[in-house]
Amino acid sequence: MLQVYLVRHGETQWNAQRRIQGQSDSPLTEVGERQAWQVAERVRNYGITHVITSDLGRTRRTAEIIARACGCEVIADARLRELNMGVLEQRNLDTLTQEEEQWRRQLVNGNPEGRIPQGESMLEVSLRMHAALDACRALPAGSKPLLVSHGMALGCLVSTILGLPAWAERRLRLRNCSISRVDFQQSAWLANGWIVETAGDVSHLDAPALDELQR
């Protein structure tokens, strides 16, 4: 059985400011740095063999902290990037027009046609996230990888493993530096392939984690 840990990056300046990041970037806050260290302490003795991260700065910094504790190198994979939020990237949520907010809401309310102008659809995100996850199956036997990615991207990945369409209503909350785990296995009582063991665990954090869309 292959176990893969999924970690969302630590809190960023734009998370705290309620700004839309997408594939734009902002650095971790002091809280975000501490969250990353708390993940590192949590997984230090899990036997992690590979730390694979989105190539954006906020995930790379989170991954560097975790990899240092686990004695691993950081491997970048652009397929783990956040959803491209198109023309709304870098905007504050409170400044969106009614039309712009409708574009954003279509990404979370189950609209199969949801897409921000110049951005990605949830189906496109799902395809590249699954490709990155499936690549873990080619790692040497006994590997235990940890992937560092983003809230929308990871939520889409976990939801689709559960059998939901990529554009399904967003009902899975993955806060900053939450830990999830998915396993590739064959079971008499579960469907063969990827299954969800845990999702959104924040018990290792010493303070409530922010979520840019849930305050």
Using CA atoms, how far residue 44 sits from 24, 47, 208, in Å, is 30, 7, 22
Domains and CATH numbers, the chain: 2-201 (3.40.50.1240)
Amino acid (one-letter) located at 211: D
Q: Is pLDDT of 215 > 60?
A: no
Q: Is the dihedral of CA 60, 66, 70, 71 positive or negative?
A: positive
pLDDT at position 212: 44
Whether residue 83 is annotated as binding a ligand: the answer is yes
- Mean of the per-residue pLDDT values of the chain: 95
Beta bridge partners of 181: 5, 198
Note the pTM of the prediction, 2 decimals. Answer: 0.96
Under 8 Å between Cβ of 5 and 180: yes
Whether residue 59 is annotated as binding a ligand: the answer is no
Q: List the catalytic residues.
A: 9, 82
How do residues 88-134 score in pLDDT, each as one tens digit? 999 999 999 999 999 999 999 999 999 999 999 999 999 999 999 99
Quick one: average pLDDT of 61-68? 98
Whether residue 171 is annotated as binding a ligand: the answer is no
Quick one: average pLDDT of 163-186? 96
Cα radius of gyration rounded to whole Å, the chain: 16
Whether residue 84 is annotated as binding a ligand: the answer is yes
